[in-house]
Amino acid sequence: MNLYYKNKKKINFSKMHGLGNDFMVINCMKENFILSSSIIKKLSNRYTGIGFDQLLLIENSYSSLCDFNYRIFNSNGNEVEQCGNGARCFGLFLLLKGLTNKNKILVSTKNRHLIIEFLPNNMIKVNMNQPDFKFYNLSTFKNILYKNFSIKLLSENLICSLVSIGNPHCIIKVQSIKNAPVKIIGKNIGKNPIFPKGINVSFIEILNKNNVKLRVYERDVGETKACGSAACAAVAMGIAQKLLSNIVEVELLGGKLIIMWKGFGTPLYMIGPAEHVYDGCIYI
């Protein structure tokens, strides 16, 4: 063996994406790889590493009720609770690697369970559970529900809404997403002390009751081509405020998702594609 690789561990991975939101996916079912934050940062670098928005780990289920466990790490090494585009790529990986032959699987995440269903034409449907508008434990606010509220930002009062889809989201309605100050506002809200764990910030342009445009600044990552959980959060907010119908097409920078929600007390569904880019290995 080449001396360079002698004391290094070989890790096989797949590069995948959901509407341009890209992932490194590792199967940890036979060997549980422990990757530090510093290693994840190096791997996520788009110039000297593999390059990705999030790292996804596939693990054996900790419960007899679930088929698999699903862990998500942002590019800075922080573990997060949820990733909608990642869930679809997670499901496609299982199919491509022959790890499941089911049409529908149940997976556990850091704080909830997801049902992933395989549809024709490489489309994947995810039951994202019920949106949470109470926002407990996500900020210093209590029981905000789905109403608008104001945040003091850069000497101005910014009107927005809060909702959790397993991870925290701040939704801002704009007339046009094209000129929205995504980076400035997203970065500043994400660092606001009222959100001690950070927050994803979305800018929504409502075209009509069935169609919206969305740009997303993800916490620890920056603006991404797409964010599935943000699309779910934005549509849930729109439906709760009676601005949108129960089935909405969301146009993100990387493509389109279909979000369906019948309202309070019912689960929210996301439908969209997932793509396998390549398989590789790296020595760490």
Is 112 among the annotated ligand-binding positions? Answer: no
Determine whether the annotation assigns residue 117 to a binding site: no
Length of the chain: 284
**12 marked ligand binding residue:** no
Q: Check the annotation: does 88 bind a ligand.
A: no
Q: How many CB atoms lie within 10 A of CB 114?
A: 22
**Nearest-angstrom CA–CA distance, 44 and 67:** 28
The response to whether 54 counts as a known ligand-binding position is: yes
Q: Please check whether residue 85 is in contact with residue 92, taking contact to mean a CB–CB distance below 8 angstroms.
A: no
* 84 is known to lie in a ligand binding site: yes
Largest distance between two CA atoms of the chain: 64
Q: Cα–Cα distance between 132 and 230 in angstroms, integer?
A: 13
Which tokens is 81 given? 């609770």
Q: Which residues are catalytic?
A: 83, 227
74 is known to lie in a ligand binding site: yes
* Residues forming beta bridges with residue 164, ordered by sequence position: 132, 168
188 forms bridges with which residues in the sheet?
Answer: none
Alpha-carbon distance 20 to 32, whole Å? 27
CB 46 within 8 A of CB 232: no
User: Encoding tokens for residue 265?
Assistant: 């007390």
Angle between helices 228-240 and 84-96 (to 10 degrees): 130
The answer on whether 167 is annotated among ligand-binding residues is: yes
Structure tokens at 201: 């910030």
Helices (H), 70-130: 84-96
27 labeled part of a ligand binding site: no
What backbone torsions phi and psi does residue 182 show, to the nearest 5 degrees?
Answer: -60, -50
Is 200 known as a binding-site position?
Answer: yes
Query: Which residues are documented as binding site?
Result: 21, 54, 74, 84-85, 167, 200, 218-219, 228-229
Residues annotated in the binding site for substrate, as ranges? Answer: 21, 54, 74, 84-85, 167, 200, 218-219, 228-229
